Amino acid sequence: MPIFDHARLAVGLSAMALTTVAYAEEPASAPKVVQQFLGKYCLECHDSDVQKGDREFESFALPLKSVADLISAKDIIDQVTLKEMPPKKADQPSDEERLTLLRVLREGTVAARGKIESSGSRTVMRRLSSREYENTLAALFGRRVDTLGLTADFPKEKTSRHIDTIGKSLVTSGFLVDQYFQAANRLVETRLGKPVMEPKNWHFNGHFIQYEELSGSHKAAFNYRYLNLYEQPNTDTRQGGYGHIEDFLKGVPESGFYDLEVEAQALHRNTHFDHAIFGIDFSEPFIIGVVPGDITKGHIHYPQPIEPLLASSVVPDEKPTVLKFRVWLEAGQTPRFIFPNGPYESRASVVTINKRYKDEFKIPPGTSGVSRTHLLRDGDLPHIRISDIKIQGPVKEAGGSVEEVAVFGQGGFNPERALDQLYAFAEKAYRRPLTDTDRAPIQSFYDKRLAEKATPRQAALDALKLILCSPSFLYLSEITDDDSAKALKPYDLATRLSYALWAAPPDAALLATAKSGKITEPAELKKQVQRMMADERISGFIHGFLDSWLNLRDLGSMPPPRETNLTYYAEDLPASMKQEVRLFFSDLLKRNGSVENFLDSDYSFVDKKLAKLYELPEQKTLRLADGFQKVSLKGNAHRGGLLGMSGVLTVSANGVETSPVTRGAWVSENILGIPPPPPPDVVPAIDADVSGATTIRERLAKHRADPTCAECHRKIDPLGFSLETFDPIGRWRSNYAKPKGGKAPAPKVDASGEFPSGETYQDFAGFKKIIRETREDLFTRHLIRQVLTYASGRHMEASDDFELDEIHQAVKADKRGLQTLIVRCLTSEIFRSR
């Protein structure tokens, strides 16, 4: 983390500024407080002459004016908080003196941070993020590009306060520029540079070699006659998680659609073995999926960086059935088959069956137990059996490939009109009309390649790569003629709006309003915002914004232990967790529902997996095929609103255990918009146990015995205590886990708390009631700031407060509708300005 960011984070107290504690009835000014404290306790060792420890505080004063001042302030805050300075032998300040100094320093650093970080209320020119880059290419070329993994080797995107659209954070390195060139070359050559190829046929009905550990038993039992899937791919053992075609490792010769015919059967779904051994729902039919594999990218039986689900189907039980799929495969990719709802870790189930059912098998003399071979021949091990695979392709596309039409228009490439075709594509790629300055390098490069004896088509393809590496494509330029002008020009406004709502380039309708200039008119802009929100591409905003606002992109980055959270992995709960939040947001957006539903609601959207996790009645009636359904939560004190959703509860925990501090800080920052200051760098983590304390509440009570710690914790902890009724993945609990190695009972969860403002609650429902009744304005205003920050590409500043107030009042007047909020944000002067 850059040292400046570290200093900024350390003092991000904002509206949660420490309660004023004065030396006397008439408080001294902030600069005087600092001057008096340093002069009395610090300058003897840290003046300009001595500078003990390379620290000089004689010149330190408020207001802070530089990054160096922020670093010094951070150092003083850390040392005073820990009482490490002044040293023990020196005179010691009172707790009141310490708290007053900490208050004025934190307030001073908040003010200084705002000035130093300020972008002058203007958006720094930014490039496309990796997700926007792929979305843009898919829109320009007319087909998904995730099968290519173009951004797989890109540097990890830097976010700013979890938001990935901030111009100052989206830097471009030399390495990234090189990756852009490689990605453009691969995309163009793979999709447009491939030779015309007649369809071919492949047929495989044997030599189905499996994962190494299964190979011997499969040869002994079937002589590799079948390709068997024994477990889902999301496991550690990989035993039958991925089924590949050993004789087709080289993959398909060219990118394109390929037709697959797979003869498969679900075996032993009615196994007589104890169903609990396998950890799956046998009431559900077995599902087979197809994902790409590339032998050059890693082990063929293991997960690979590029493996989107290409197709899936239910597998019948009765008899082998031919299942047909049409899938897109890139050159060199081979189809692999997965069992998404299969057992978890096949090896463990085989070991258990060996122990519990060995008397059912005739074990040859000299062997120690039931081998997998015996189990395959004579047992009821549930699995999917594939006996025959046919592949045909690439399938010819009527009228030419989608990419050919998207780039060169109907009829495809025409050497006589090559430059006009390239200019037309560049105009779409640059999202605005071309200038002579834009055309010159395209023509120059095209002519240069012709002079180098390239064919006209290859010269055009190379010029196409040049366009895809142009700053006009990679950057949202937002150029105006006058440097002092703030209002975005029509095409820049259209582009900003499109990437805000769709994370993709403008469509023809939006570009038409830009061309006419009408988009700068408030009524037309509002009309376009409403039109675009009703389009299915609004998912680009929903996914990107929720990942930023609620930090959902980190869901799964700190996974819980497998042994205590098997369903989290076996049922791929992170995918369901994210989808619940997305559907809830989408529903409010469509019907302009009140944002107060984010704080508490009597409904949500769940699939069968979440219904079971939440212990809802629908777990008995929902099927996997039903997907997500809207369910009532009336009378349910355990759920409702964002804070009752497992995705939020998981991302606000650390994966292993829960903490009121961690979740309280998350609620403060993400729900109320009040970033709490992190602890000083050298404060040790709260131990698992402190002098006999048995619960996290008792441990925190000991920790808060220090007044300097108590000041922050009394504001953070009440926001997290009520959430202790949820475990690290959002399951409801009344008790903590039993202490290991002892006979003591499991400690009971105490979900009560008291806000610094005096309100008390006894449980989760009471906590939500207080938040909704007393802090709804805080939440709404924070949501407005987050939408504007995400959409404009810059953080809001003090100079934006007046317009934020106006938006807030308008949203309140319209019953806090989410659609109203977003329309107001995207038609505001803030959004329409550079």
Using 50, 70 and 90 to split pLDDT, how confident is the model at 3? very low
Which amino acid is it at 528? Q
Q: What is the per-residue pLDDT across 201-251, written as a single tens digit (0 to 9) for each?
A: 999 999 999 988 899 999 999 999 999 999 999 887 888 899 999 999 999
Task: Give CA–CA dist 157/155, Å, rounded.
Answer: 6
Q: What per-residue confidence (pLDDT) applies to 136?
A: 98
Closest of 549, 532, 711, 529 to residue 165, by C-alpha: 549
DSSP 231: S
Q: What per-residue confidence (pLDDT) applies to 478?
A: 64
Which range (365-379, 669-683, 724-738, 740-754) has the least confidence? Answer: 669-683
Which range (709-713, 757-761, 812-816) has the least confidence? Answer: 709-713
Which range (16-20, 280-284, 639-643) has the least confidence? Answer: 16-20
| Burial of 823: CB neighbours in 10 Å, binned 0-12, 13-18, 19+ | buried
Q: What is the per-residue pLDDT across 504-550, written as a single tens digit (0 to 9) for each?
A: 999 999 999 999 999 999 999 999 999 999 999 999 999 999 999 99
676 against 385, higher pLDDT: 385
Which range (64-68, 162-166, 439-443, 795-799) has the least confidence? Answer: 64-68
Q: What per-residue confidence (pLDDT) applies to 705?
A: 58
Q: What per-residue confidence (pLDDT) applies to 567?
A: 85
Q: What per-residue confidence (pLDDT) applies to 5?
A: 33
φ, ψ of residue 556 to 5 degrees: the values are: 100, -10
Which range (323-332, 447-456, 614-623, 737-746) has the least confidence? Answer: 737-746
Ordered by where they begin, the domains of the chain are 3-117 (no CATH), 200-393 (2.60.120), 567-768 (no CATH)
- Can you tell me whether residue 496 is helix, strand or coil? helix
Q: What per-residue confidence (pLDDT) applies to 49?
A: 64
- The answer to whether 610 and 646 are in contact (CB under 8 A) is yes
Average pLDDT over the chain reads 86
Q: What per-residue confidence (pLDDT) applies to 679?
A: 61
- Percent of the chain topping pLDDT 70: 87
Task: Give CA–CA dist 566/218, Å, rounded.
Answer: 28
| Six token digits for residue 655 | 């994966």
Q: What per-residue confidence (pLDDT) applies to 23?
A: 27
Q: What is the per-residue pLDDT across 755-805, written as a single tens digit (0 to 9) for each?
A: 888 899 999 999 999 999 999 999 999 999 999 999 999 999 878 888 999
The upper half-sphere exposure of residue 557, i.e. CA atoms within 13 Å in the direction of its Cβ, equals: 9
What is the mean pLDDT of the segment spanning 478-491? 73
Quick one: CA torsion of 758, 763, 768, 770, rounded to 10 degrees?
-20
What are 257's strand-pairing partners?
328
798 against 831, higher pLDDT: 831
Q: What per-residue confidence (pLDDT) applies to 125?
A: 80
Q: What per-residue confidence (pLDDT) applies to 727?
A: 92
Using 50, 70 and 90 to split pLDDT, how confident is the model at 6? very low
Cis amide bond preceding 394, omega within 30: yes
- The answer to whether 444 and 486 are in contact (CB under 8 A) is no
- 3-state SS, 296-364, equals HHCCCCCCCCCCCCCEEEECCCCCCEEEEEEEEECCCCEEEEECCCCCCCHHHHHHHHHHHCHHHCCCC
Encode burial over 1-23: b for 16+ CB neighbours within 10 A, e otherwise.
Answer: eeeeeebbebbbbbebebeebee
